[in-house]
Amino acid sequence: MNTKTKGSLAGLISAITWALDTVFIGVILAHTLFVSTDKIIFLAPLISTYFHDAFSAVWVMIYMAFKGELKNSFAKMMTRSGRYVMLAALMGGPVGMTCYVLAVKYIGASYTASISAVYPAVGALFAFLWLKDKLSIRNWIGLFVSILFIFILGYSSGGLGPNATLGFIFALGSVFGWGMECVICAYGMKDDVTPEHALQIRQVTSALVFGLIIIPIFGGYAVVGDIIMSKEMIYIASVGLCGAVSYLGYYKAINEIGPTRAMALNITYVSWTIFFGFIFFGSPVTAKLLICSVMIIVGSIITVANPDELNFKKLFKKAAA
């Protein structure tokens, strides 16, 4: 199996496991503990992200300890490459996720999801400018198709509140944060930092910043204490393992097929989330959901594939031979 195939497979596993992560996090956030007061409803996504990344960091450290790389992983944090990965972690977790949650508060989930879906385009632009990550016209078209149908899938009409402008600013902040995370992380892994090292640095950095800065700013420590003593902690720890697998696949894909193609595969989690929602909970699947999901996956395939792999005449000749 060549490097490109391994990277594409890792990106696909990342999307599938992130979809599972998303579905089960949604179930956890629907528990009574997370909807008991308006304050907890607002803090729940931030606190769940904190615990998610913290448990993910623990699982990764256990994995690295078995590989005999735990001490080396912490040492990598002090290197130049490690500091770039730490910066990527700040962009993706504290910046991207916090902006996303605040955007949901001000303009709602549908608008926020639609706007944030363009983060691969921003990431692709910075990858092109900074990393010289070149794509063919077909690849760019594939990326555009995926983002377009995610936007269609997430968009819904409805009135916006008086703080809509602030909400849009926060949504754009999440786009910038997530797009930059991928590109900066790719730069950090160019030298001696492996995807496994990068993942541990990412999750530890994100959890520490959430736990020591963001949660206190929003006055969430009292809620954190309640959650620690609840049965939901077992479920969050389990989902954290799923998140660790997803991020490991994502970082491997970034390292092996480049940030733009890794993002194109990663955003197919939207389609996989719909599929798992139907399988596990019987969530309805409309024609719009089905068409958009198929087009998201098709667009991602076009983004990842080389021109020769999209040449159907050559494919048929190989098959005939």
Please name the residue ranges forming H helices in the chain: 3-29, 38-67, 70-76, 80-90, 98-107, 109-116, 119-126, 137-154, 164-188, 195-209, 215-217, 221-228, 232-257, 259-266, 269-281, 287-304, 312-320
**What is the per-residue pLDDT for 16?**
92
**In angstroms, how far apart are the furthest CA atoms of the chain?**
67
Q: How far apart are CA 185 and CA 198, in angstroms?
A: 8
**What is the per-residue pLDDT for 155?**
64
**What is the per-residue pLDDT for 26?**
79
Q: How far apart are CA 244 and CA 54, in angstroms?
A: 10
pLDDT tens-digit readout, 230-281: 888 888 889 899 989 999 999 999 989 888 888 888 888 878 888 888 888 7
All residues at 6 or more sequence positions from 319 whose CB lies less than 8 Å from its CB, including other chains = none
With 0.95 as the threshold, say if the pTM is over it: no
**What is the per-residue pLDDT for 154?**
67
**What is the per-residue pLDDT for 129?**
81
Please give the residue range of the domain that contains residue 231: 3-320
Number of domains in the chain: 1
**What is the per-residue pLDDT for 312?**
44
Angle (CA) 13-19-25 rounded to 5° is 135
**What is the per-residue pLDDT for 319?**
39
Paired tokens of 258: 């480049």
* pLDDT mean values, one per 10 residues, the chain (321 residues): 86 91 82 79 83 91 92 90 92 88 75 75 82 80 85 63 80 89 88 88 92 89 84 87 92 89 84 83 79 83 67 46 47
Return the HEC string of 213-246: HHHHHCCCHHHHHHHHCCCHHHHHHHHHHHHHHH
**What is the per-residue pLDDT for 261?**
86
Q: How far apart are CA 153 and CA 296, in angstroms?
A: 10
